[in-house]
Amino acid sequence: MFNLTLEFKLKPKATQIAVFEDSLEQCRKVYNYAWKECKDWYNSHNCQINSCSKSSEYIIPADGPSPTYSSQCKTLITYRKTSTALLRVNAALLQQTRLRLEKSFVSMWEISPRVPSVKKKGSFEVF
């Protein structure tokens, strides 16, 4: 059995390049926002009950649910209705970006102790 792979070289115009770069930037922002939400929840539940300090205390309810892929996608859908920048980007692309973060956190718990990091500007290069 043979695998057939086709490669196509894209030659986008300047306006198309601008759309691609804007989409990647919005994906990076969604990734970083979801990352911060997960990290804040984890940090708020990380300290011991008898030794929490005022400087590291987070104002997140103790019984609040952890941010999951589905809950953050629902939040993303509602926020997308009010944000013109997110309306320009395909919803499936934004959800795939959130799924990318979910896989990073799952691998952190199961495979390696490396925590996913915040993505800097220009770090998203591939859809």
Q: pLDDT of 18-34, one tens digit each?
A: 999 999 999 999 989 99
Quick one: tokens of 68? 């999951």
Residue 95 backbone dihedrals phi, psi, to 5 degrees: -70, -35
- In angstroms, the CA 40 to CA 26 distance is 21
Which residues of the chain register pLDDT less than 70? 45-63, 109, 125-127
Report the percent of the chain where pLDDT is more than 90. Answer: 18
pTM assigned to the model = 0.76
Residue 80 tokens, joined: 């997308």
In this structure, are residues 24 and 88 in contact, taking their beta carbons and an 8 Å threshold? no
Q: Which pLDDT score, from 0 to 100, does residue 61 have?
A: 63
